[in-house]
Amino acid sequence: GRKMGDYLDLIKLDPFYRIYFHDGTYLDYTGDSDKMKSQMAQFNIEDANNYDPFIEKTKRLYDAVITDGLGSTPFMDWSTMFNFLPQALKLNALMPAHSFVKGYFKDFRHRFAFSFHPLFIGGSPFRAPSVYLMIPYLEKVGGVWFTEGGMYSVVKAFERIFLELGGTVMTNSEVEKIMVKNGRAAGVLVNSQFYEADAVISNADFAHTHLDLINPDYRSKWSDKRVKNMDYSMSAFLLYIGVRKQYPELSHHTLILSQRYKELVKDIFDKKILPDDFSMYLHVPTRTDASMAPPGCESMYVLIPVANLQSKINWGKMARP
């Protein structure tokens, strides 16, 4: 069989990420329990003592979702939901993530550091269920890794495997429609040419796939209405930057936070407005892989959480100085 090491060179990160808070303090988030508790004790000794019990509780969430197979269970009917309910209540898995974390930590730094993970999947920590808090445990036992050469090396590795298996990769080939025959997807239309397929897999946004790629004749009005009325996640404003200097105070993954947390999340998810203060995530791959930029320089990826396109934000106007 194939081994990941034959296609990718992985580098383990430590710390996983650095979190800068509005008061200038920072926390180097790591999988090393002693390092974490030592840092946490500087802000709140009781919080440091609660670190191990918190991780143990997140392990129970992890075991329920991964080890016991809950994460692979399709919740397609109410009976499945009811079967899961007793276990979920026992684990407090349906409690909002931030509320769960508040039960263990008092300092605002720790409450953020252990509750923000639902943002990874576009969810609000104040609404998303605490089942997503299994991520801190997953990071602790599995680590956080970077692939040498950046994420594009992962793309190239998948392409290499696909070609080895006899596949054909077509680039610059936008799918215009998913063609349906006899009630099932039968292929795709690309540049007015039909490509027949035994199965069609779309990695595009679900709403785009449903509303734009499938002919209305094969969609029900009920399903269209349901898709349009879904509660969509946040969006992100992205910057790809190259700079002619280095910033050693930045970790490979760095979070820079505004003073507001709950209110900022509410601005983005509920009010759907553009706040005056931002929190941002910076990815600085040159901290780990110097080949990602010329000597003495940095390459950066900056992500700022913002409201999605259901907002009334005029991005063209806001872009002007």
Question: What are the extents of the domains in the chain?
Answer: 32-142, 170-228, 232-318
Which parts of 115-174 fold into alpha helices (H)? 134-142, 151-164
Token pair for 152:
């594009």
Residue 145 confidence (pLDDT): 96
Residue 115 confidence (pLDDT): 95
Query: Which residues, in sequence order, are bridge partners of residue 240?
Result: 301
Residue 86 confidence (pLDDT): 66
Burial class (CB in 10 A: 0-12, 13-18, 19+), 308: middle
Residue 84 confidence (pLDDT): 64
Q: CB 232: neighbour CB atoms within 10 A?
A: 17
Q: What CA–CA distance (Å, rounded) separates 7 from 164? A: 12
Q: CB 49: neighbour CB atoms within 10 A?
A: 13
Which residue bears the tokens 């009005």?
A: 221
Residue 78 confidence (pLDDT): 56
Token pair for 51:
């670190």
By the 8 A CB rule, do 243 and 297 touch?
Answer: yes
Query: Shortest CA distance to 268 belongs to which of 283, 280, 256?
Result: 280
Question: What are the Cα distances from residue 103, in Å, to 51, 158, 228?
Answer: 11, 42, 36
Q: Which residues of the chain have pLDDT under 70?
A: 67-90, 320-321
Q: State which H helix or E strand residue 146 sits in.
A: strand 145-147
Residue 85 confidence (pLDDT): 67
Q: What CA–CA distance (Å, rounded) separates 226 from 112? A: 33
| Per-residue exposure over 58-87, b if at least 16 CB sit within 10 Å of its own CB, e if not | bbbbbebbeeeebeeeeeeeeeeeeebeee
Residue 144 confidence (pLDDT): 96
Query: Shortest CA distance to 116 belongs to which of 5, 252, 222, 268?
Result: 268
Q: Is the pTM of this model over 0.85?
A: yes
Q: CB 267: neighbour CB atoms within 10 A?
A: 19
Residue 204 confidence (pLDDT): 93
Residue 316 confidence (pLDDT): 84
| Phi/psi of residue 124, nearest 5 degrees | -80, 130
